[in-house]
């Protein structure tokens, strides 16, 4: 009598599983590639953010401190005749400022949206709103420069009045954009996100958490006429925000995001 022995079903099943499914060791290298690449990309975005923040300083200070001074301080500027190239250079720098402002939000958004999908989008919106105010101010001063070319035969008193109106428009775009919106966007929103994620030291992000409301309070006080624009009081209220953005730019450019905090954020 012949006996036929069949293989155990459990053994057959185990062999099939080993054939179809790769071993954990074979999957390990593939699983480690994406997080490392994502971490590198996030650090690259962080350093770019720092660079763009420093560019905002390099492009925002010269127009107000140098290029626009004759137009903003002299009521008879519009009667001077001829085209003032200083305003054109200032406008060019502020156009670069707008690009850098928006870039700081776009480079941070892919990283921060993982934990703050709404706040990170709010920060992008705040940056766009601030840049919109700056753009209106640029148009106002370029229009003032155009009036200088049309002084022949024009009424000096009327030209002076129009020129003062354009300067007033520029001044208020500065008071509302960098003077108010920045306190909400760069201060409150960005400071809070950096505080919670610890992507930068909390000793640095606290400047944003405190500086945003302080800048906002100063801007609102200017709107209601409680303090004078550019006064010592407003400058003191704006100081923490100034240090926050400068410190953030330097830190991110030189050191990038805190590695353990970034790893937790990307996990």
Retrieve residue 82's tokens.
Answer: 């001829």
pLDDT the model gives residue 19: 42
CA distance linking residue 164 with residue 128, whole number of Å: 27
| Cα distance between residue 191 and residue 5, in whole Å | 73
In whole angstroms, give the CA distance from residue 175 to residue 225.
Answer: 12
Higher pLDDT, 153 or 258: 258
Nearest Cα residue to 53 out of 120, 106, 118: 106
State whether residue 263 is helix, strand or coil: helix
The more confidently predicted of residues 22 and 82 is: 82
State yes or no: pLDDT of 30 exceeds 70: no
Q: What are the pLDDT digits (tens) for 80-116?
A: 878 899 999 999 999 999 999 999 999 999 999 999 9
Measured at the CA of 178, the angle between CA 61 and CA 164, to 5 degrees, comes to: 80
pLDDT per position as a tens digit, 215-248 = 999 999 999 999 999 999 999 999 999 999 999 9
Domain residue limits, the chain: 42-255+262-266
- Please report the pLDDT score of residue 35 as a whole number: 67
Whether residue 259 has pLDDT greater than 60: yes
SS3 category, 178: helix
pTM across the whole model: 0.85
């Amino acid at each position: 009598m012949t006996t036929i022995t069949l293989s155990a079903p459990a053994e057959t099943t185990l062999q099939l599983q080993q054939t179809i499914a790769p071993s954990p060791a074979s999957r390990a290298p593939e699983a480690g590639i994406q997080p490392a690449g994502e971490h590198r990309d996030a650090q690259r975005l962080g350093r770019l953010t720092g660079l763009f923040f420093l560019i905002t300083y390099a492009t925002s200070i010269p127009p107000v401190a140098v290029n626009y001074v004759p137009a903003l301080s002299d009521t008879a500027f519009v009667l001077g005749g001829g085209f003032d190239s200083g305003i054109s250079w200032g406008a060019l720098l502020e156009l670069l400022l707008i690009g850098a402002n928006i870039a700081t939000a776009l480079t941070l958004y892919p990283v921060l949206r993982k934990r703050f999908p709404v706040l990170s989008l709010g920060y992008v919106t705040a940056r766009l709103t601030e840049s919109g105010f700056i753009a209106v101010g640029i148009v106002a001063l370029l229009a003032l420069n155009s009036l200088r070319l049309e002084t022949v035969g024009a009424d000096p008193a009327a030209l002076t009045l129009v020129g003062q109106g354009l300067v007033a428009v520029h001044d208020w775009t500065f008071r509302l954009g960098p003077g108010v919106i920045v306190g909400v966007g760069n201060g409150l929103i960005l400071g809070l996100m950096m505080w919670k994620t610890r992507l930068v030291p909390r000793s640095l992000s606290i400047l944003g958490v405190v500086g945003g409301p302080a800048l906002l309070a100063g801007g609102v006080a200017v709107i209601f006429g409680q303090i004078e624009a550019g006064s010592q009081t407003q400058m003191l209220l704006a100081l923490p925000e100034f240090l926050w953005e400068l410190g953030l730019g330097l830190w991110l450019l030189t050191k990038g995001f805190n590695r353990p905090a970034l790893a937790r954020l990307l996990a």
